[in-house]
Amino acid sequence: MTEADVRAPDGDTGLPAGGPEATSDLLSAEIDAAFSPAGPLAAKLPGYRPRAQQLAMAHAIARAIAGRERLVAEAGTGTGKTFAYLVPALLAGGKVIVSTGTKTLQDQLYERDLPLVRDALASPVTLALLKGRANYVCLHHLERTGREDRLPSRDDVRHLPKIVRWAQATERGDRAELGDVPDNASIWGAVTSTRDNCLGSNCGHYRDCFVMKARKDALDADVVVVNHHLFFADVMLRDEGIAELLPACNTVILDEAHQLPDTATTFFGEQTTAGQLADLARDAEVAARTTLSDVPDLPDAAADITPAIRKLRLAGGDLPAKLPRAAALARPGFTEALDALAAAIDRVATELGHYAERSEDLASVASRADEIARRVAHWRDAGDAPDESGERWIRWLDVTPHGFQLHASPLSVAGLFRRQLDASARAWIFTSATLAVGGDFSHYTRALGLDDAATGAWESPFDYGAQALLYVPRGLPEPNTPAHTEAVIDAVLPVLEASRGRAFLLFTTLRALARAKERLVDALPAIGIDGPLLVQGESSKTELLERFRRAGNAVLLGSASFWEGVDVAGDALSVVVIDKLPFAPPDDPLLAARLKALADDGGNPFRDWQIPQAAISLKQGAGRLIRTETDRGVLVIGDPRLVDKPYGKTLWRSLPPMRRTREIDDVREFFGVRGRSTVDA
């Protein structure tokens, strides 16, 4: 797609320049110079080659920044979208917030990409990295945890002295610096703060607080890198420091923007989790043993919360499930368990409230108890009527293997998000590799209230016709049948034999993943694959990917967390298998409510929601395959609906333009394999 193909919301080509014409022309000339073969980027980047798509995208973003417009920009893999937005943002000047979907990309931007672009452009901008408060050690909670000397596990006892020593030497307090303590270690919950238990300016360590230092650095910086969870938590809750950044901000760039509708739904809504309740119970019990040891009724009140949590989880059912509020309340014993939990929290809130003035810690715990009591009561008592602003809410229960979550979610985030956009005039750039379906952005723009945003799509510069093959095996059963997973593995084995492993197998359910593992443990050695079989959950995602890259011939089984944000370039990954088309389960209460509302308004839920969502998810999974101009690989989709159903054409047309086949011999030829197959023998 060329620069002129960017579409304004009224259908005219191009974007309004906005601002003085001379400024726009000067910025355009500077962008041309920056991306030229003899320009500053070429001087800094070995092997740099100009890409027409990258340059066109950079010009579109520059015009949106100059005009303080909203631009939704899809950039195919290999376009170089990061530099396409960083260069115009730095050249245009002003304060810039860049938000990403993952901490990995956040760190990459701050540690590598931004310094490189800044140095190449000889720009004087200052940079800051701002993470959520859970990433910074809290000196108050660290001191309190050490003083209490009642840690729940031996690992916690072993890790605490390391954290204490590190906290005395670190400048940033970012727990990512401390490699000796695993990121998932339970001790971190006791030595970091949350929005609920932070004492703010009343804390004795306020002057040395790492969160406050990070916020100050962000306020002083020209470019601030955050992630979506932090961005929305603060925009909604005014908690993490971004609310102070936004008034002075000229440009907001939201990378990996396909995640925004789900992230916004989480942060516009309310969640009360078993973990939050357990933390409240723990802190109330600590108060009963220490500061309030003279209050006779508090120990029993605090002790009542934990069994009430357990009782409610049991009433939720034996299996993980997502239940609408009405269905949850109809379960035997659930309403009684919920009432018992609410009563226990109310009692703790009342007891703590009498003595909150004794210390800031007590005041914080009492405030949390009041807020949690309010949320639980509202979830129990609220009906389905719209709230005072006219927004409709869906309340539902998520039962997990070890806990539960009480959710209150907005039926749509479009109006809520639009109010944030309209609060002040600034440029908003939404970018990702997967925002449109067949060039149509309407599904995405409707979801976020971006109906008046300009849109643009730039195709990947990769030669997918030569580099990739799409293979849909013949004879597979329908994906909802018990035989489907076995049949997919049978069909994939000759592919893995031809590729000598080097594959991601991505599954839409954990049950299918587990079955595939059972089968492949013996099947892979039988076809001569001696590389490791790596399975999601058996180690951290980072460690699994490192082992995959090092092995060079591994097979990795993954589910949702490996569908996006995973980059394995080169020969180590030559096959991506997707077992089913990624349609969201229709029994999800929030999805079911949205589909019903769409039907009530005269729409077609399957055509207008489920197909676009599946297309975007499918593009994300397929995007793991080709990461560079020299990568080659086969995408296997084990779902006959892709070719048998009329909507299948919409889905495969949303994928990169790779060759298609249904013959295993074409796959073998792609990998240069001839002769008899072990699988066929």
| Digit-coded pLDDT (tens) for 82-97 | 999 999 999 999 999 9
Residue 21 has pLDDT above 60, yes or no: no
Nearest CA to 587 among 347, 364, 319?
319
Q: Give 675's pLDDT tier (boundaries 50, 70, 90).
A: low
Using CA atoms, how far apart are residues 247 and 582, in angstroms rounded to an integer? 39
Q: Answer left, alpha or beta for residue 440, where phi above 0 means left and psi between -120 and 50 means alpha.
A: beta
Using CA atoms, how far apart are residues 511 and 41, in angstroms rounded to an integer? 47
Q: Give 680's pLDDT tier (boundaries 50, 70, 90).
A: low
Pairing of strands 403-410, 270-273: antiparallel
Mean pLDDT of 195-216: 87
Rg (CA), the chain: 27
Min mean pLDDT across 309-323, 377-391, 563-577, 621-635 is at 377-391
% of residues, the chain, pLDDT over 90: 67
Q: Quote the pLDDT of residue 519.
A: 95
Using CA atoms, how far apart are residues 393 and 383, in angstroms rounded to an integer? 9
Nearest CA to 44 among 106, 123, 100?
123
Using CA atoms, how far apart are residues 172 and 374, in angstroms rounded to an integer? 36
268 to 370, 485, 573, 649: CA distances (angstroms): 20, 37, 38, 35
Q: Is residue 149 within 8 Å of residue 289, measured between CB atoms?
A: no
Beta strands in 312-452 (DSSP E): 321-324, 393-400, 403-410, 427-432
Residue 6 has pLDDT above 70, yes or no: no
Sign of CA dihedral 88, 90, 95, 99: positive
Q: Is residue 418 within 8 Å of residue 61, measured between CB atoms?
A: no
pLDDT in tens, 632-653: 999 999 999 999 999 999 999 9
Q: Answer left, alpha or beta for residue 472, where phi above 0 means left and psi between -120 and 50 means alpha.
A: beta
Q: Quote the pLDDT of residue 17.
A: 40
Q: Quote the pLDDT of residue 8.
A: 56
Nearest CA to 553 among 595, 500, 510?
500
Beta strands in 274-358 (DSSP E): 321-324
Q: Quote the pLDDT of residue 543.
A: 87
Confidence (pTM): 0.88
Using CA atoms, how far apart are residues 192 and 113, in angstroms rounded to an integer? 29
Q: Is residue 89 within 8 Å of residue 61, measured between CB atoms?
A: yes
pLDDT in tens, 517-563: 999 999 999 999 999 999 998 888 888 999 999 999 999 999 988 88
Pairing of strands 321-324, 393-400: antiparallel
pLDDT in tens, 124-144: 999 999 988 889 999 999 998
Task: Characterize 264-275 residue by residue with b for buried, 16 or more Cβ atoms within 10 angstroms of its Cβ, and e for exposed.
Answer: bbbbbbbebbbe
Q: Is residue 673 within 8 Å of residue 503, measured between CB atoms?
A: no
Residue 20 has pLDDT above 50, yes or no: no
Q: Quote the pLDDT of residue 613.
A: 94
Output the CA torsion 21→25→31→36 (10° steps). 170
Q: Give 222's pLDDT tier (boundaries 50, 70, 90).
A: very high
Q: Give 387's pLDDT tier (boundaries 50, 70, 90).
A: confident
Residue 64 has pLDDT above 50, yes or no: yes
Q: Give 241's pLDDT tier (boundaries 50, 70, 90).
A: low
Residue 677 has pLDDT above 80, yes or no: no
Question: CA 83 from chain center: how many Å?
Answer: 21
Q: Give 239's pLDDT tier (boundaries 50, 70, 90).
A: very low
Q: Give 299's pLDDT tier (boundaries 50, 70, 90).
A: confident
Q: Quote the pLDDT of residue 421.
A: 86
pLDDT in tens, 25-52: 778 899 999 999 999 999 999 889 999 9
Q: Quote the pLDDT of residue 681.
A: 41
Q: Give 313's pLDDT tier (boundaries 50, 70, 90).
A: very high
Q: Give 327's pLDDT tier (boundaries 50, 70, 90).
A: very high
The residue count for the chain: 681
Nearest CA to 427 among 94, 33, 125, 118?
94
Q: 91 in helix, strand or coil?
A: helix
Using CA atoms, how far apart are residues 406 and 396, in angstroms rounded to an integer? 6
| Burial status of residue 247 (CB atoms within 10 A of its CB: 0-12, 13-18, 19 or more) | exposed
Q: Quote the pLDDT of residue 237.
A: 56
pLDDT in tens, 581-591: 999 887 789 99
Residue 567 has pLDDT above 50, yes or no: yes
pLDDT in tens, 616-625: 999 999 999 9
- Average pLDDT over the chain reads 89
Mean pLDDT of 446-469: 95
Q: Quote the pLDDT of residue 3.
A: 40
Residue 246 has pLDDT above 80, yes or no: no
Using CA atoms, how far apart are residues 182 and 225, in angstroms rounded to an integer? 24
Q: Quote the pLDDT of residue 678.
A: 61
Instruction: Please name the amino acid found at residue 629.
Output: E
Q: At 228, list the tokens.
A: 């979506």
Mean pLDDT of 361-365: 85
| Burial status of residue 227 (CB atoms within 10 A of its CB: 0-12, 13-18, 19 or more) | buried
Give the range with max mean pLDDT: 151-160, 331-340, 380-389. Answer: 331-340
| CA within 13 Å, CB half, 244 | 13
